Structure 1
Amino acid sequence: MKQQPKLTQRLQDAFFGLVYRNRLIYNTCWEDPRLDRRLLGLTSASRVAVITSAGDNALDYLLDDPAQVDCVDLNFRQNALLELKRGLFLHGTFEELFSFFGDGGGPNCAAIYARIRKHLPAYAAAYWDDNIGYFKAGRLSRSFYYHGASGVVAFAFSRLLGLIKPRVRREIPRLLAARTPDEQRRAYAAIEPAFWDRLSRWLVGRPELMALLGVPQPQIRLIRDSHPGGLEGFVRDKVRQVFTEVPMAENYFWRVYMTGRYTRECCPEYLKEANFAVIRERLPRLFIHTESLSDLLGRKKGFYSHIVLLDHQDWLAHHNPQALAEEWDGIFAAAAPQAKLLMRSAGLDVSFVPDAARQRLRFLPELTQPLHAADRVGTYGSQHLAVVG
């Protein structure tokens, strides 16, 4: 007989579901597209399926000139975010795009939105009619990147630092400005002891906080079970790796949550002026679908040369193994011969992939493992590239 989950586990899963169903979760992608593009090797013949998230990485993929990119997400808010970005590319200027998503908002954003609104799908326009204030200058948060579930955590964290850890807050600009590895390590060494106190360790262990960051309970359990230091040790080790081994001058992922904005030099590729015209010209190849990945794949038999799964199979493996098995059936049906699949996991191996699926895949750890240490995000336990046999 299948063991029923404990009450606390059911409550935590319910809280995650409540957050996911009712909020924008990701206001920026939390996967490093520089690694994606090196591993995927997209060409003009490539047809890509990717989970939308915030849409940043899908826009970056267009720089590699693929034939088609299909973005899919069950959360319509994530797709509405990508639609707003597409609208700004097609009907705005680079400076207007950067005002929204580089600066995180400004005094002209409401007027710009009013001008391009008619070009958005009805569902996206309805969402932004209610939430365009996320980009309003002068609000308490002062940035779009402090809205949505993950943004709320980043905002609360930055304000908490200012109130109870002023020393840490004062050192952050020095860390962000570091130009050499030694300078960066010294800056982090000054921060780490003050940062990892009892309160920080307690917060890291809260499943409610992790739910707001888009991390479900099964993924938390996977981290606790696979990492020697548990969840706290995992987070601490990953943060240390990012801030001491990866150059801060190019780490826009952590910069935006620390400061609420990007700079012209430290930002995603889609926000660089040199790439604006290229992405705009290729946007007709990008399609957005509000449905499950399985539903999308079910209509595309033998179509995709590349499928980017992010880390959602961690959740399915623990929460709904039947849905995971059905998704793999759909993946194999929709994959073209020798299709590449890119996955990430909170765990350290591919145990989240069902045995039957693993038998049909050829994994390429010789490519993924050396690159994993260069991941500018540093929040995943592992990444995996597989070829469909």
Structure 2
Amino acid sequence: MSTALANDFVGGFLQHAADVKDTLGETAHIKSIALAVGFLSTFASKSFLVFIWACFFKPFTSSKVHEDHQNNLETFYKTQAKFYDTTREILLQGRDEALKLAFSHAKANSSRGKKLVWIDIGGGTGLNIEKMDKRVAKLSENFTAVYLVDLSTSLCEVARERVAKQGWTNVHIICGDACTFEIPEEHADLITFSYSLSMIPLYHSAVDHAEKLLNPDSGIICSVDFGVQSESNSIGRTNTLGGMVNRHVPWIFRTFWRIWFECDKVFLDPSRREYLEYKFGTVKSVNCYNRTLGKIPYYIWLGVNKQEDYQLVYRFNCLATESPYLAPVDPKKNQPAGNEDTPVSKALEAALDNAKKGLPYPSLFYQRQAWRVYYDELSDDYECFKNQYIYAFTWEDPREDAALLNLTSRDTVLAITSAGDNILSYATLPDPPKRIHGVDLNPCQGHLVELKLAALTTLGHDDMWKLFGEGKIENFEEILITKLAPHMSSNALQYWLAKGPKAFDPSGKGLYDTGSTRWALRLARFVFAISGLSKKVSELCKAKTLNEQREIWKESIRPVLLSTLVGKLLVGNKVFLWKALGVPSNQAAMMGDILQYVIDTLDPIIGNSLISSDNYFYYLTLTGRYRPTNCPDYLSKQGFKVLSRKQNSPLEGIRLHTDYLNNVLRRLSKKTISVAVIMDHMDWFDPEGDDVNDEIDALHGALCEGGRVMLRTASKKPWYINNFEQRGFKCEAAATRYSGQMIDRVNMYASTWICTKKPAFTDRKMSTIELDKF
């Protein structure tokens, strides 16, 4: 009978493996089959029957609970200790990922070359230690000492046998209480709870004891465990949690699994995780389901000392970069942040509010890098983006920006974030700006740029190229967890764990077939396919001379793409312009005849810019990838070398704001921005509204004397230029596009403007003639 049951069980596993193959690929498929085969041999044996008896039947035979917790553990584990690891592999998911995350963060926080002290609390048979040694980091090379602590004598005996078999000389087994054990060292650099906190009755004491042992400056504590959370558990403390992706577990799963596991004295109540999140600052938080065994909820969580972690000092110092005249403050003191004329960052407001309540600071305060500025993840303002970025690449030409603005290290630049290509280009300049503020209301645009920043910080050029040059890479999740995660916010990590494996899948279409604008690219490919032009488009992208490019365009592609029929159905359709190209109705109205506008955009490009070698914007659009000799500056070998250097990297000056431009401008100290690059942002405003004046006033306040605003627009002279001039700016068209002429490699806009803030004279009023001369 047991063999039949095993066969049924494995049959389900094989079906699951087929589903895994469809969604995650061949490697995951093979691993699932291997698990099924392994379980077949186990389940058909006595060990399977003992496992079933101990976990699913024995808890219902007696309600007696021993006062001595060690006695309870022995009663449960004594008969299963020898085959514990085999029967738990499929149940206790996420342990490999948790170890990789924990080690990568602990190593990143430690002094270079320093070996770590690791305590695995509730480590059982020592399987976690073996996983660390074989799959993550060699114990002999990375750890001074490793301590396994467990109260079960049977499990500890298996652990001792494992230590002897592996020949580890720096691993020590402590058969003792998680609340009182001691180690010779003063502090540990890494402390882990792997499916153990849910089984510790006095978990408050165990967590408090771990807090005392953790290195206060740079130690990492990690828990991977079952747990049920809901949105109601997070009220009033969402900014401490490191993101809300999959945080809410539906009522049916919360109720069923909590009752089921309590029969085995395993407690999935949210209080254990909540206590961790109260005692420590959250560095990373990942919410998952074990879908193989019925969608059991589990989590992976990493934290640091909430008051003493060295990153806190750095983060508070970095508040001065959000609002440059704000001095660093002592958040433990209930002191005012400044007078009414001094802007206060949202981060500082949130930190002071948390400090009053005894809560950890916002999770973003504990991140290794200060790139991402604090934002309220649950704001209603972000709902319209539906948890996706619009642009996977940036359409503005930074070569023209550099030529027009002549940026130097004396500049502080504020720019629309978009996909980050332009702000990274500014950072590769010979004398880059001392500070670059990227602003975008869409949080996912910030997640994309964080991924690029982390990759530039940790990866070699080959992997960087695969990620963002080709948009495809093997083992994305492994690279994300082991290399990139320590340099990203928890919010961005959650996003890319969910979206990244599919976006970068080598068998898929790649990164540049993501984002809202992917529909325009797909539609273009569809039009080319049904028109029989795909081959000609490929030839266009390989053309070696402008004459060859012009001929292919004129004879084959242009007659179809710019035909009246396609124009009316696609580029002339306002629904298509917004949904596929991100062109709002106000901007579309500024274009006039839209089909003619598109003709004036594309014809000069074909005639003057060789797509194959000097126009990565259209090359990417048509091919879905870049070329090493035709790519954004940050992907070139020279640009990568500048940005990835370990000392004085220009990346240190980048800050990413997730907010309305107005809000960011008003929270920056007055007269601290020298250049604001706002792309075509102003075209979106309603000419009948007052919002445009509010933004111009905010720009005027944030810009220093002589500060400049650079903008692009769909009009040769947009209506809002008069508003700029009425509010103290001198405005000049730096480039105007006429039919048949190209103003930059994108050529998508009718004009580019530089609006310069006029100097303020307090001693006398300037005459109209003097103002005009300025």
Residue 136 (structure 1) shift? 0.8
Whether 1:219 and 2:587 are equivalent positions in the alignment is yes
Contact 1:317–1:352 (8 Å) recurs in 2? no
Greater CA deviation, 379-388 or 24-33?
379-388
Residue 264 (structure 1) shift? 0.2
Which residue identity lines up with residue 443 of structure 2 in the other structure?
F
The residue number in structure 2 matching 1:125 is 493
Counterpart pick for 2:639 among 275, 287, 297? 275
Alpha-carbon spacing, 1:192–1:18, altered in 2? closer, same or farther (3 Å): farther
Counterpart pick for 2:747 among 363, 369, 378? 378
The residue number in structure 2 matching 1:232 is 595
Counterpart pick for 2:702 among 311, 323, 334? 334
SS in 1 for 2:433: coil
Residue 106 (structure 1) shift? 2.3
Contact 2:390–2:445 (8 Å) recurs in 1? yes
SS in 1 for 2:575: helix
Greater CA deviation, 19-28 or 41-50?
19-28
Residue 316 (structure 1) shift? 1.4
| Inter-partner Cα distance in structure 2 for 1:354 and 1:84 | 39
The residue number in structure 2 matching 1:79 is 446
Question: Which aligned pairs between 1:1-389 and structure 2 lie closer than 5 A?
Answer: 20=385, 22-64=387-429, 65-115=432-482, 116-132=484-500, 133-139=502-508, 142-162=509-529, 164-166=530-532, 168-190=533-555, 191-201=557-567, 202-212=569-579, 213-224=581-592, 230-248=593-611, 249-280=613-644, 281-300=649-668, 301-318=670-687, 321-355=689-723, 357-358=725-726, 360-365=728-733, 367-369=734-736, 373-389=742-758
Alpha-carbon spacing, 1:114–1:208, altered in 2? closer, same or farther (3 Å): farther
SS in 2 for 1:351: coil
| Inter-partner Cα distance in structure 2 for 1:306 and 1:112 | 36
Residue 19 (structure 1) shift? 6.2
What's the C-alpha RMSD, in Å, of the aligned pairs?
Answer: 2.0
Alpha-carbon spacing, 1:173–1:76, altered in 2? closer, same or farther (3 Å): same
Residue 210 (structure 1) shift? 1.3
Contact 2:725–2:731 (8 Å) recurs in 1? no
Which residue identity lines up with residue 620 of structure 2 in the other structure?
V
SS in 2 for 1:364: strand
| Inter-partner Cα distance in structure 1 for 2:552 and 2:705 | 49
| Inter-partner Cα distance in structure 1 for 2:480 and 2:452 | 11
Which residue identity lines up with residue 333 of structure 1 in the other structure?
G
Rg larger in structure: 2
| Inter-partner Cα distance in structure 1 for 2:407 and 2:726 | 23
Contact 1:328–1:357 (8 Å) recurs in 2? no
Alpha-carbon spacing, 1:331–1:57, altered in 2? closer, same or farther (3 Å): same
Greater CA deviation, 198-207 or 185-194?
198-207
Q: In the TM superposition, what whole-angstrom CA distance separates every residue of 1:359-384 from its partner, at most 9, and x where no partner exists? A: 5222233x434898241112111111
Any stretches of 5+ residues in structure 1 without a counterpart?
1-16, 225-229
Higher helix share: 1
Q: In the TM superposition, what whole-angstrom CA distance separates every residue of 1:336-360 from its partner, at most 9, and x where no partner exists? A: 1111110011111132334354552
SS in 2 for 1:26: coil
Any stretches of 5+ residues in structure 2 without a counterpart?
1-381, 759-774
Alpha-carbon spacing, 1:356–1:233, altered in 2? closer, same or farther (3 Å): closer
| Inter-partner Cα distance in structure 2 for 1:144 and 1:277 | 23
Which residue identity lines up with residue 285 of structure 1 in the other structure?
G
Compute the TM-score of the two structures, normalised by the length of structure 2.
0.45
The residue number in structure 1 matching 2:339 is none
Alpha-carbon spacing, 1:118–1:36, altered in 2? closer, same or farther (3 Å): same
Which residue identity lines up with residue 578 of structure 2 in the other structure?
A
Alpha-carbon spacing, 1:211–1:356, altered in 2? closer, same or farther (3 Å): closer
Q: In the TM superposition, what whole-angstrom CA distance separates every residue of 1:57-81 from its partner, at most 9, and x where no partner exists? A: 0000012211100001100011111
| Inter-partner Cα distance in structure 1 for 2:386 and 2:673 | 28
| Inter-partner Cα distance in structure 2 for 1:355 and 1:375 | 26
| Inter-partner Cα distance in structure 2 for 1:304 and 1:356 | 17
The structure showing larger relative contact order (alpha-carbon pairs under 8 Å, at least 6 residues apart) is 1
Residue 183 (structure 1) shift? 1.7
SS in 2 for 1:24: coil
Alpha-carbon spacing, 1:296–1:68, altered in 2? closer, same or farther (3 Å): same
Contact 1:28–1:54 (8 Å) recurs in 2? yes
Q: In the TM superposition, what whole-angstrom CA distance separates every residue of 1:291-350 from its partner, at most 9, and x where no partner exists? A: 1111111122100110001111111144x7322111111100000111111001111113
Which residue identity lines up with residue 379 of structure 1 in the other structure?
M
SS in 1 for 2:721: coil
Q: Identity of counterpart residues, as a percentage?
A: 28
Greater CA deviation, 32-41 or 197-206?
197-206
SS in 2 for 1:148: coil
Contact 2:736–2:750 (8 Å) recurs in 1? no
Alpha-carbon spacing, 1:356–1:169, altered in 2? closer, same or farther (3 Å): closer
Contact 1:47–1:69 (8 Å) recurs in 2? yes
| Inter-partner Cα distance in structure 1 for 2:695 and 2:727 | 16
Residue 173 (structure 1) shift? 2.2
Contact 2:590–2:715 (8 Å) recurs in 1? yes
Alpha-carbon spacing, 1:345–1:18, altered in 2? closer, same or farther (3 Å): farther
Greater CA deviation, 52-61 or 123-132?
123-132
